[in-house]
C-alpha cells in the first residue's frame, strides 16, 4: 500500500505505477460531465486546479439547516469514459496531476498523463459509503448552478483508497485487461 499526500506534484505521481494500491490524503475536487464540458469550452475554473486531483463524482450531499454546513453522505466514483473527449485538455490547461474515477479512460487521456505528469486512479465503483467515510471536511462548493451532483465540491480526504490503473508512463491496466479478455473471447465465441 502506497501513500500520496498533499500537496501533490507531477513528480510524485510519476513515481506511481499501474497496479499500485494507494491511499490519498489531502484535497480533492469533484468534477463530472457538466464541469468538464464547461472547462473544455474555455471557461475559467472557479478554483485553481494546478497540481490538484479531480474526482469524477456526483456526491449525495446534505445541508444542515441550522449551520448551513454541508456533509457528503455518499461519494463513489462515476464512469470516467464520458470525460474522454475533454480530459486531456483539462489536464493540459489546468495542470491537474490526478484523476479519480471508475472504468478507466482512453488513449487521449493516457497520452496526456504521460506528457503532463498525471495519473488515473480507479476507486471502487459503488463503494459510496467507504469513500464518503474518508472525507474529513467539505471546504467549498463551486458552480452550484449545474445542480449539486454536477457541481465542484472541494473536499479534504484521509487515506482515500484507490488503485492506479493508468500511470504517467503510458501503461493502462484497462488496455491490458481488454486485450487479454479479447483473446479469451475469441476462443469462446
Give the helix ranges, DSSP H, for the chain: 10-14, 33-40, 84-94, 107-116, 128-133, 173-188
Query: In this complex, which beta carbon is closest to other proteins, that of residue 24 or of residue 94?
Result: 24
As a whole number of angstroms, the distance between CA 115 and CA 169 comes to 9
Residue 141 found at the interface with other proteins (CB under 8 A): no
**Closest CB 51 distance from other proteins, rounded Å:** 26
The reply on whether position 148 binds other proteins by CB under 8 A is yes
SS3 187: helix
Q: Which of residues 11-70 bind other proteins (CB under 8 A)?
A: 19, 21, 57-60, 62
> C-alpha distances in angstroms, 129 versus 87, 125, 139?
26, 11, 19
Query: For this structure, is 36 an active site residue?
Result: yes
**Which helix or strand (DSSP H or E) is residue 138 part of?**
strand 135-142
CB nearer to other proteins: pick between 62 and 115: 62
Q: Does residue 125 interact with other proteins by CB under 8 A?
A: yes
Using CB under 8 A as the binding rule, whether residue 179 contacts other proteins is answered as no
**Total binding residues toward other proteins, as defined by CB under 8 A:** 46
- Residue placing its CB nearer to other proteins in the complex, 85 or 161: 161
Ranges within 95-114 binding other proteins (CB under 8 A) = 102-104
Classify 74 as helix, strand or coil. Answer: strand
Point out which residues pair with 21 in neighbouring strands.
Answer: 163
- CA–CA gap between residue 134 and residue 139 (Å, rounded): 14
Looking at the Cβ atoms of 51 and 61, the one nearer to other proteins is 61
The radius of gyration computed from the CA coordinates of the chain, to the nearest angstrom, equals 16
Binding site for other proteins (CB under 8 A): 19, 21, 57-60, 62, 73-76, 78-79, 81, 102-104, 122, 124-130, 132-133, 147-150, 161, 163, 165, 173-174, 176-178, 180-182, 184-185, 188-189
Q: Which residues are the active-site residues?
A: 36
Amino acid at each position: 500500500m502506497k501513500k500520496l499526500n498533499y500537496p501533490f506534484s507531477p513528480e510524485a505521481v510519476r513515481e506511481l505505477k499501474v497496479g499500485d494500491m494507494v491511499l490519498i490524503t489531502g484535497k480533492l475536487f469533484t468534477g463530472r460531465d457538466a464541469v468538464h464540458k464547461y472547462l473544455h469550452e474555455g471557461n475559467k475554473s472557479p478554483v485553481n486546479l494546478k497540481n490538484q486531483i479531480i474526482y469524477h463524482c456526483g456526491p449525495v450531499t446534505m445541508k444542515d439547516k441550522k449551520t448551513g454546513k454541508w456533509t457528503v453522505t455518499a461519494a463513489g466514483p462515476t464512469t470516467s469514459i464520458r470525460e474522454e473527449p475533454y480530459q486531456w485538455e483539462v489536464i493540459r490547461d489546468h495542470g491537474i496531476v490526478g484523476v479519480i474515477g471508475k472504468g478507466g479512460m482512453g488513449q487521449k487521456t493516457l497520452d496526456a498523463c504521460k506528457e503532463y505528469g498525471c495519473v488515473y486512479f480507479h476507486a471502487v465503483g459503488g463503494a459510496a459509503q467507504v469513500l464518503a467515510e474518508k472525507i474529513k471536511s467539505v471546504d467549498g462548493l463551486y458552480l452550484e448552478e449545474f445542480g449539486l451532483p454536477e457541481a465542484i465540491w472541494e473536499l479534504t480526504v484521509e487515506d482515500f483508497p484507490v488503485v492506479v490503473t493508468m500511470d504517467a508512463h503510458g501503461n493502462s491496466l484497462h488496455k491490458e485487461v481488454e486485450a487479454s479478455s479479447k483473446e479469451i473471447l475469441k476462443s469462446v465465441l
